[in-house]
């Protein structure tokens, strides 16, 4: 038997403007994310949402966003980690105080819109948000996109984390959500959405907007801590992983492994793609280089992904090596020293 928390955003009206269908949604869900006044909502709307969810026996979560009423919190804002932490703490404190007045407590926090999407890829931003949550209540659950930096930051800070998937949103090949401005970003067919959710739950797979259907398995040792520039290390590893996804056929598996060695950590990315000809292996880290097979399979591409990955890794004292598998596919091996500068 599978147990699923069906979650939805609520309380996003503002003043005389009604947004959403809270009355119709509440009977269908088990938890709600209530807007906290920055991207939507106001004190009256927040109070009403709390009272409605309490009456329905629904768990309440805070839904903090950027201070962007005009853009509904969906526009990217350049904020520092300190600002993000303050914005988050301010909003969850407001909703949390109102919940307390109604003898309710916050179960979780889920960032909204652009803040959510930016944090999914930005560890430092995610960490700032999680620090705000922990300072308010370390028992609150952090809700984030499955496999995102938000989930990683929450676990690093010892917080409970809940990975979520979306029934009505399309996914990019790297597991992030397709920007709403792109065609096909929102799934509007009810039957398609239902089928996607069932498959996500049972098989832990999702078909991306490009039509690819690829499983990503993660096998790793527990409690490996590597002292590196997280932003650039993630950039390098993402480039390697995106290459694996881009050149792999449908219904194949990409495996990521980590292993702690004596003085370094080994990260392997293994795919079942077309592979790289032996005579081209020494060229793949050259800037703008793309092999003949790569050009035939994927027309668009700049040829800088592996060049940048190697540069970032080597500048941190690490190594990167590519090896052809006996039958098909590649294995990229990355090593990074456990402590920089020693």
- Looking at residue 287, which CATH number applies to its domain? 3.30.565.10
Given a cut of 80, whether residue 179 has pLDDT beyond it is yes
pLDDT-based confidence at 212, cuts 50/70/90? Answer: confident
Residue 319 in domain: yes
> SS3 string of 138-156?
CCCEEEEECCCHHHHHHHH
**Which of residues 159 and 177 earns the better pLDDT score?**
159
pLDDT at 214: 56
Does the residue 188 lie in any domain?
A: no
Instruction: Mention every residue, 6+ apart, whose C-beta is less than 8 A from residue 40.
Output: 11, 12, 13, 14, 19, 65, 69, 72, 73
- Domain end (from 103, 129, 164): 164
**Of 147, 164, 181, which marks where a domain is finished?**
164
The encoded tokens of residue 174 equal 């790297």
Higher pLDDT: 205 or 314? It is 314
Do 152 and 242 lie in one domain? The reply is no
pLDDT of residue 340: 42
Per-residue pLDDT, 238: 85
- Per-residue pLDDT band for 227 (boundaries 50, 70, 90) equals low
The confidence score (pLDDT) of residue 217 equals 43
How many structural domains are present in the chain? Answer: 2
Residue 187 is assigned to a structural domain of this protein: no
Q: What is the reported pLDDT for 261?
A: 78
157 and 219 fall within a common domain: no
| Residue 120 and residue 231 share a domain | no
Helices and strands in the chain, H and E counts: 10, 11
Q: Is 2 domain-assigned?
A: no
Most confident of 92-106, 136-150, 272-286, 318-332: 92-106
Do residue 315 and residue 228 come from a single domain?
Answer: yes
- Confidence class of residue 303 from pLDDT cuts 50, 70 and 90? low
- Model confidence pLDDT, tens digit, residues 42-90: 999 999 999 999 999 999 999 999 999 999 999 999 999 999 999 999 9
Most confident of 31-40, 192-201, 253-262, 280-289: 31-40
| Residue 91 · residue 64 · CB < 8 Å | yes
| 39 has a pLDDT exceeding 90 | yes
For residue 195, is it within any domain? no
- How much is the pLDDT for 230? 67
Pick the residue with more confidence: 113 or 213? 113
* pLDDT band (50, 70, 90) for residue 276: confident
Asked if the structure places residue 48 within a domain, the reply is: yes
Instruction: Provide the mean pLDDT of the chain.
Output: 84
CATH number for the domain harbouring residue 54:
3.20.20.370
Predicted pLDDT of residue 328 = 79
Same domain, 44 and 124: yes
**Overall average pLDDT of the 152-173 stretch:** 86
Angle at 51 between CA 50 and CA 52, to 5 degrees: 90
318 assigned to some structural domain: yes
Question: Which range of residues forms the domain containing residue 292?
Answer: 215-337
Residue 135 lies in a domain: yes
Half-sphere exposure of 55 (CA within 13 A, CB side): 9
Same domain, 15 and 150: yes
Give CA–CA dist 9/35, Å, rounded: 7
pLDDT tier for residue 290 given thresholds of 50, 70 and 90: low
- The reply to whether 155 and 29 lie within a common domain is yes
Same domain, 72 and 137: yes
């Amino acid at each position: 038997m599978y147990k699923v928390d069906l979650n939805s955003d609520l309380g996003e009206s503002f003043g005389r403007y009604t947004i959403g269908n809270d009355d119709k949604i509440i009977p269908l869900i088990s938890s709600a994310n209530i807007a906290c006044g920055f991207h939507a909502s106001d004190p009256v709307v927040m109070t009403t949402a709390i009272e409605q969810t309490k009456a329905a026996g629904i768990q309440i979560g805070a839904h903090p966003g950027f201070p962007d009423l005009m853009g509904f919190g969906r526009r990217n804002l350049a904020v520092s980690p300190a600002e993000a932490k303050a914005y988050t703490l301010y909003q969850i404190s407001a909703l949390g105080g109102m919940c307390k007045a109604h003898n309710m407590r916050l179960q979780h926090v889920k960032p909204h819109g652009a803040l959510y999407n930016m944090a999914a890829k930005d560890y430092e931003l995610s960490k700032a948000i999680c620090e705000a949550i922990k300072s308010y209540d370390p028992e609150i659950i952090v809700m984030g996109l499955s496999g995102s930096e938000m989930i990683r930051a929450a676990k690093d800070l010892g917080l409970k984390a809940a990975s979520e998937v979306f029934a009505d949103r399309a996914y990019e090949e790297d597991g992030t959500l397709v920007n709403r401005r792109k065609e096909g970003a929102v799934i509007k067919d009810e039957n398609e959405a239902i089928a996607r959710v069932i498959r996500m739950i049972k098989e832990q797979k999702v078909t991306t907007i490009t039509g690819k259907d690829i499983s990503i398995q993660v096998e790793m040792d527990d409690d490996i801590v590597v002292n590196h520039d997280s932003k650039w290390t993630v950039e390098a590893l993402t480039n390697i992983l995106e290459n694996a996804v881009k050149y792999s056929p449908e219904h194949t598996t990409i495996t990521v492994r980590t292993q702690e060695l004596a003085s370094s950590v080994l990260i392997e990315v293994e795919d079942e793609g077309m592979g790289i000809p032996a005579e081209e292996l020494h060229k793949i880290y050259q800037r703008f280089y793309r092999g003949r097979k790569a050009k035939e399979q994927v027309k668009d591409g700049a040829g800088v992904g592996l060049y940048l990955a190697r540069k970032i890794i080597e500048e941190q004292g690490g190594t990167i090596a590519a090896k052809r598998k006996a039958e098909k596919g590649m294995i990229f091996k990355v090593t990074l020293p456990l402590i920089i500068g020693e």
